[in-house]
Amino acid sequence: MDYFLITSVLVSLAAIFGFINVKFLKLPNSIGLMLITIIFSLGVQGLSFYDSTLLNAEKGIINSIDFHTVLLDVMLSFMLFAGALHTNFEQLKLQRWPILVFATLGVLVSTFLVGTAMYYLLQMISFKVEYINCLLFGSLIAPTDPIAVLGILKKAGAPKRLEAKIVGESLFNDGVGVVVFLTIFKIASSAKDTVKIEHVLKLFGTEVLGGIAIGLLLGYITYRLMKSIDDYTSEVIITLATVMGGTAIAHHFHFSAPLAMVSAGLFVGNDTVRSSTMSETTEAYVDKFWELMDILLNTILFVLIGMEMLVLTFKEHYLLAGFIAIPVVLLCRYISLLAPIQFFKRKLDFVPHTNLVMTWGGLRGGISIALALSLTSDMHRELFLVITYIIVIFSILAQGLSIGKLIKKIGINEEERKEERKEEQKEEMENA
């Protein structure tokens, strides 16, 4: 199927579903789009009993798209750069150490907890799955999705200190999670005697350190170029070239493109660089351009996730495994955050029940589905794809819709926001 036609259909559906959501449902963008797309896909499925033309057309579109490549190699870099560009850098800087631990140690601990728990649970319901393949599932479901998290947290009115932790963790654990997945994937797909620890460490180090380093270098080059001119059209194009060229470079040298784009976005987006680089006009155009880019790609992504259900194999025992996995993944995330939060809360001012909100607010999205799609049949691809899809749907719809109510219910109330306003006023007075 022609790529222009596919893109046209997806953008048209995204526009129609987005209009319906804004006009009638008024839900956060990601939740509304996914819900409408799922209802649409179920309607197409029901209509197929009378006429399968529309179902076949929709399946044709989905089967023509390499979701893994489109998301991880193309869309993700744009969305992560946009997310990092608009992240509160000062709050991120203040919370940098817990965010670093959450995004690294937290992902690793969660990977092994989920992998181990699923291994024994799947054995109990008669699935003979190797432990290494369960670890693969643990690695693809461990990272939270910044694309899903950003909009929902803002709509929920989360305090900035808490928002910085969740969003910052999501931006970085996404890149780390992909690297962990690729490392375990290499072990799972290779003969056991050909994999050595030094090879694993080299792969992990190259992806993570190389990705961050190239991202910071790209951010600095972008900063120098933008500082030397004052033309908003050229400066917007420079930021676009940073993402497209930087992603190509990262892929060529086998660095982590997600981590590179997060690093570049944070460098270009921090207040110090902005004030010394961009005029008010340039800053407005750069922000609006990347905000629009983020919304467009985010909209298309969640339409794709909703449509993906038409090509999955929904067997009863797959569904059972998926519903069992939901509490397992949530519990393992809660446990993986316990030690870091207990350690850092003595030094940093954490809001009440941070672990509970980070667990329920750690949404899964398209990244997990894209990684699950890259599994081979020997790795029980169909089983883990259905499990992943069920977790993602529950995450976006159930967790996303209730996170705001949870924040209010457990006492992160107006007093917290009053305290934050006092701190902001204090900072403004100090800066003045």
Alpha carbons 93 and 310: distance in angstroms, whole number:
43
pLDDT of amino acid 154: 66
pLDDT of amino acid 147: 63
pLDDT of amino acid 182: 87
Looking at per-residue confidence, does 170 or 150 come out higher? 170
Parse the chain into domains and list their residue ranges: 3-431
Q: Which residues contact 377 (CB under 8 A, 6 or more apart)?
A: none
**pLDDT confidence tier of residue 418, bands split at 50, 70 and 90:** low
pLDDT of amino acid 225: 96
pLDDT of amino acid 194: 63
Average pLDDT estimate for 14-34: 91
Please check the confidence at residue 416 and state whether its pLDDT lies above 60: no
Please check the confidence at residue 199 and state whether its pLDDT lies above 90: no
Looking at per-residue confidence, does 83 or 243 come out higher? 243
- N- to C-terminal Cα distance for the chain? 59
Tell me the pLDDT of the chain averaged across its residues: 88
Average pLDDT estimate for 164-175: 85
Average pLDDT estimate for 37-42: 93
Least confident of 39-53, 67-81, 147-161, 375-389: 147-161
CATH number assigned to the domain covering 3-431: 1.20.1530.20
